[in-house]
Chains A and B, each alone.
Chain A
Amino acid sequence: MRTILFSLFGALLLMTAGCSKNNAGTPTPDSGKGGSLARFTIVGNYMYVVNSKQLKAYDVSTPGAPVFKNEVSLGWDIETIFPYDGNLFVGSSTGLYICSLADPASPKLAGQVQHLRACDPVVATGNTAYVTLRAGTGCGGTQNALMVYDVADIRVPRMLRSIALSGPYGLGVSGTALYVCDGINGLLIYDISTREQPNLEDRIYGHDFRDVIPHRGVLIAQLANGVAFYDISRPRQPALLSTLLH
């Protein structure tokens, strides 16, 4: 019995090893995931792109031949796009826009909220959206902060809270953990068991953290000089798995 189990285990190992050596981008059931700083995002058979002024929608049901569908003019200095729960959260240097994907080929501006001038990626979970504001030479403004918005009604997002930070970049959510990249000031881990009240629990130093993707139990961190992988089977206690630097 034991030998059978072992050989089965061995065969499984060989199979997984074989899969891992496939070519880049081999089709998998996994539809992929980007970070919070992205200007590209794919939702189902549509791809959404933000340039500095517009949100554009493409039909990518045949991925090799995208078909332009529609565009929405949103204002100035648009920077990031984040899909959540049938909506697109669009970050610009002057505010947060929420576009409905009720018709995925034709996103419609549903709500917006203005904030002080800064660079600002967005993530959302439940009825709460988290936005980081980063001030600086390029971004303008003087405020570095984590902003918490109630988006239960996307037509009227409400600011709930603002927490001062050093110079934040991207952010991500997994379960009751909110990860905020504060550049060289570390990766901040907030407990968001109470969604509207992030509570700073831990901080990981040692890298210039720019963005994160929580994905299938692993937190992938974008660093200024590479990537780092953390096990987040316990989301609020990331455990370093490896780094790939330079």
Chain B
Amino acid sequence: MLRIIFPCLLILLVLSSFYPVYKAPAPEIVDGYVPIYGPADHPSLKIGAAAVRPIVNGGKIFVIGDKLFQVEVGAGIHIIDYADRQHPEKLGFLTVPGCTEVALKDSMLFTNHYGDMVVLDVSKYPVVEEKSRMLNVFPEVTPETPPERMVYYECVDRSKGSVIGWEKKKVSTLNCFFR
């Protein structure tokens, strides 16, 4: 028996000397997101019409008729009129916390309020009515995950308040990762 085990051990020992010692990858500083904290009743946490605002982190777009909708990543949707192709103008903004998606059928706007899919009637904008809500269509998206996937982000610290938004910043890969 020993005659079998001993050579095997010897082979293992020789082989293992070729095997590189595992080293954890060095942390890197990469593009990512940092939470912005505020009170739980902050206005940017409510769905509704808001004043025109700058496009800072421009997201996905959807076109219907002469209107163009562009997501402001994690914050809401810009409503743009481009009937005059040479002079497009912003008509307003729709605050939708956690929003990343947009599509329309007639005057019903489909978007995501964090992980829920919501349908908003925008035919009487700036009056905006929530017509329907489907819970957990994107189960992995929560107020505590950044508005983009496959990114590193500064992990949320609840003792600092509610997350009312996200800011694009350099973060270390030692932080949380959103798949």
Residue numbers in A under 8 Å from B124 (CB-CB): 23
In the complex, B3 has a CB within 8 A of chain A: no
Give the residue of A28, A39, A140, A224 whose beta carbon is less than 8 angstroms from that of B58: A224
Given contacts A49-B137, A227-B61, A25 and B131 within 8 Å (CB-CB): no
Given contacts A32-B63, A33-B62, A65 and B101 within 8 Å (CB-CB): no
Binds B, one of A122-130, A150-158, A215-223: A215-223
Residue numbers in B under 8 Å from A137 (CB-CB): 28, 30-31, 150-152, 173
Q: How far is the CB of A47 from chain B (nearest CB, A)?
A: 7
In the complex, B176 has a CB within 8 A of chain A: no
Q: How far is the CB of A50 from chain B (nearest CB, A)?
A: 9
- C-alpha spacing A152/B86, complex, angstroms: 40
Residue numbers in A under 8 Å from B121 (CB-CB): 64
In the complex, A4 has a CB within 8 A of chain B: no
Q: How far is the CB of A154 from chain B (nearest CB, A)?
A: 24
**Count of A-B contacts with CB under 8 A?**
188
Q: How far is the CB of B79 from chain A (nearest CB, A)?
A: 5
Contact between A213 and B55 (Cβ–Cβ < 8 Å)? no
- C-alpha spacing A11/B59, complex, angstroms: 38
Residue numbers in B under 8 Å from A41 (CB-CB): 103
Give the residue of B59, B90, B92, B108 whose beta carbon is less than 8 angstroms from that of A244: B90
Given contacts A25-B64, A30-B64, A52 and B131 within 8 Å (CB-CB): no
In the complex, B134 has a CB within 8 A of chain A: yes
Q: How far is the CB of A104 from chain B (nearest CB, A)?
A: 14
Contact between A20 and B66 (Cβ–Cβ < 8 Å)? yes
The chain B residues found within 8 Å of chain A, CB to CB, are 28, 30-31, 54-68, 70, 79-92, 100-110, 117, 119, 121-125, 131-132, 134, 137-140, 149-152, 173, 177, 179
In the complex, A3 has a CB within 8 A of chain B: no
- C-alpha spacing A38/B166, complex, angstroms: 21
In the complex, A241 has a CB within 8 A of chain B: yes
In the complex, A105 has a CB within 8 A of chain B: no
Contact between A246 and B151 (Cβ–Cβ < 8 Å)? no
Contact between A34 and B61 (Cβ–Cβ < 8 Å)? yes
- C-alpha spacing A196/B22, complex, angstroms: 44
- C-alpha spacing A216/B8, complex, angstroms: 72
Contact between B61 and A63 (Cβ–Cβ < 8 Å)? no
In the complex, A37 has a CB within 8 A of chain B: yes
Contact between A229 and B85 (Cβ–Cβ < 8 Å)? yes
